Each structure stands twice: as C-alpha cells, then as structure tokens.
Structure 1
Amino acid sequence: MSPVTEEWGEVLRTHLALDEKGSPVLAAAAFSADAGFFAVVGRGDEDGRPYFRSVPYDGESVVPDDVEALCTVCEEAVHSRGLRIAGTLWRRESREVISDVVTGSELELALLRDGDRAMWVVRASQGICTFVLVDGDSGAHVSEARSLALDFDSFLVGQGY
C-alpha cells in the first residue's frame, strides 16, 4: 500500500486521538525513507506541518527538510546525539525495543526532549517512522502519548510496514 496523504492523515488522527478533547498528542507525522513525510496532522484543526518542517510548505511541492537525518532514524535507532527537526535539536532521553504483541515484530521507541517538550519516535520497520509530539510535559500525557504511538505503530505492522 503506497502512502496517500489524505488517507494516512486521517489514520494518524484517529489512532492518536487528535480530534478528542484533552488529547495528550499535539501533532503527529508519519515519515518514510522513500516518500518523506507522507502524513502530518495537528490536533483539531491545527496544521501540524510547522512542528515537523522548517521549510515552508506550499501545498504542492515537497521540499526536503532534514531528510537525510530522518532517513537514518528510520533505518536505525535515533542517534544518541539527537535529531534536528524543523530547526529544533531534539535530544534522545531514552530508547527501547518492544515486541509487537500481535506479530512479534520489533518496534524501536525513543523519547526525545527539547527543554520541556517531549516527542516519541517509533520505528515500525526499516524506512517507516512515526513522530508523536506530546502536548505539554506532564507525566500522564507523556505516558498516554507513548501508548497511542505504540498502538499506531502496531497498526502499521499489521498493515505490512
């Protein structure tokens, strides 16, 4: 299945509860080493692109932004020195490997921080990553966003990614 922005945007929105009041997720993106960012969504009606792209997006052309680093992330664990996304250097706080309960496939999960902001990065397979920006830094939101991110990536594994 090839990524389609509208379809995957809605899948992200649904799985990460972005339309629910009080969602722990502020914005999310799905990234493929082949396609780049193929879905980016914000909570409610908010545009999620500014959280993940420092280069202005005109709605038609795809302009590379941190693509080399993001492709590397999708091939291996988030580098310990961090990752620059949309002009922000995110530092890796933790990394773990989790087995998907349904397929037994390994999911790599990393918690990145920029000051008091937190983001989960989950690598479902080589070449596919999900970025989940947590709303605030409360322990409950960070934990709940982690669960939602893992649920979405289990969905990706079930889809063959």
Structure 2
Amino acid sequence: MSPVTEQWDEVLRTHLALGEERSPVLAAAAFSAEAGFFAVAGRGGADGWPYFRSMAHAPGAGGTGPERPDDVEALCTVCEEAVHPRGLWIAGLPWQRESRELVSDAVTGRDLELALLRQGDRAMWVVRTERGVCAFVLVDGDSEANLSEARSLTLEFDSFLVGQGY
C-alpha cells in the first residue's frame, strides 16, 4: 500500500468513524478522477473493496458475468458526470438514485453535490466536490437514524476535503 493510500485510508477511518463499533457507516471510498482511488476502507478494519468492486469482474478472478465497464471506471464516470438519474453499477449491483441536492460548504461556500443511492434495502451517500473528488459512503442498515448520521459524517468529510483544497 502506497503512503498516499495509507494516509487516505486513515483519513476515511477517522472522519467517517469507521474505527467505531457502532458507526453508521459500513464502508467508504474516496476517489479522485485525476489520481484514482485515494482509499477504500471498511468498518473495524474490514476490507472495503468488495463493497465497491465486483470481484467477479476483477482481473484474474475468472468471472463469467455479463460484460460491464470496470466498477472503478463507473465510479470515475460518476465523478465526471455527477450521479446519473438512471443510477449506476457498483460491485456488480444496480444502484438507483433516490435524491440529489447541492449543498454549500459552510466555510468555503463551495458547492458539494450530494446524492442518495439505493440498492434494495441498502443505501449509499455519494458526494462530489467542485474539483471532482468523490466520496462513496455505504450506510449500515436501512434505519433513518443511521441514514441521517451517515449523511452528516459524509458532509463533514467533504467539508474536510474542501478545506484541504480538494
């Protein structure tokens, strides 16, 4: 793991409470269209990659599923085009956009694009800064409390990104 990836892995864990047992976040990813994934992290040190990348389509996995663009490529497209109303495929599963809003960062005034995606009874917040950095935050369970708390953590994380110049 590169030093940059390790740094961003720790940033995700800290800002999204992934080290806490009762975190409302199951896994998260931070991505830059320019630099690729900064990090993918799961709660409690678990591997977060299976939530964001289809292992059946990973190189060398020998998957036999339908041909689809690589999930990382799909995430890059999301960053470039915003969250498309038709949704997207993440880890081989279709996610539908339920809502989308523009939120201004309280400190800098920069716009953050926030979308709620759903796949069955699972929910994920996707947020994008003006500079093309995306964060994907998978909510643990489908309770309104977890959904609301994960939204707050997602916005705080993106305020941190904006404050860092992203």
Q: Mark yes or no: TM-score above 0.5.
A: yes
**Which residue matches 2:115?**
110
| C-alpha distance after superposition, 1:30-54 (max 9, x if no partner) | 1111222220000002110100011
**8 A contact 1:124–1:154 mirrored in 2:** no
Confirm whether residue 18 of structure 1 aligns to residue 18 of structure 2.
Answer: yes
**8 A contact 1:31–1:37 mirrored in 2:** yes
* Range that drifts further, 8-17 or 47-56: 47-56
Confirm whether residue 123 of structure 1 aligns to residue 119 of structure 2.
Answer: no
| C-alpha distance after superposition, 1:67-95 (max 9, x if no partner) | 33322211232000001111111000000
**Which residue matches 2:64?**
none
Confirm whether residue 96 of structure 1 aligns to residue 101 of structure 2.
Answer: yes
Question: Per residue, is there more helix in 1 or in 2?
Answer: 2
Cα distance between partner residues in 2 of 1:96 and 1:5: 29
* Range that drifts further, 107-116 or 65-74: 65-74
Confirm whether residue 33 of structure 1 aligns to residue 33 of structure 2.
Answer: yes
Give secondary structure in 2 for the equivalent of 1:137: coil
- TM-score calculated relative to the size of structure 2: 0.87
Q: CA deviation at 1:57?
A: 7.8
- TM-score calculated relative to the size of structure 1: 0.90
- Structure 2: give runs of 5+ residues left out of the alignment: 61-68
Confirm whether residue 143 of structure 1 aligns to residue 148 of structure 2.
Answer: yes
| C-alpha distance after superposition, 1:100-123 (max 9, x if no partner) | 000000000000000000000000
Cα distance between partner residues in 2 of 1:77 and 1:127: 9
Give secondary structure in 2 for the equivalent of 1:44: helix
What is the CA RMSD across the aligned residues, in angstroms?
Answer: 1.7
Give secondary structure in 2 for the equivalent of 1:153: helix
Cα distance between partner residues in 2 of 1:105 and 1:38: 21
Rg (Cα) greater in structure: 2
Cα distance between partner residues in 2 of 1:141 and 1:57: 34
| C-alpha distance after superposition, 1:114-158 (max 9, x if no partner) | 000000000013321000000000000000000000000000000
**Which residue matches 1:61?**
none
Specify whether residues 57 and 139 from structure 1 end up closer, same or farther in structure 2 by C-alpha distance, changes over 3 A only.
Answer: farther
Cα distance between partner residues in 1 of 2:90 and 2:35: 17
Identity of aligned residues (%): 77
Paired residue total: 154
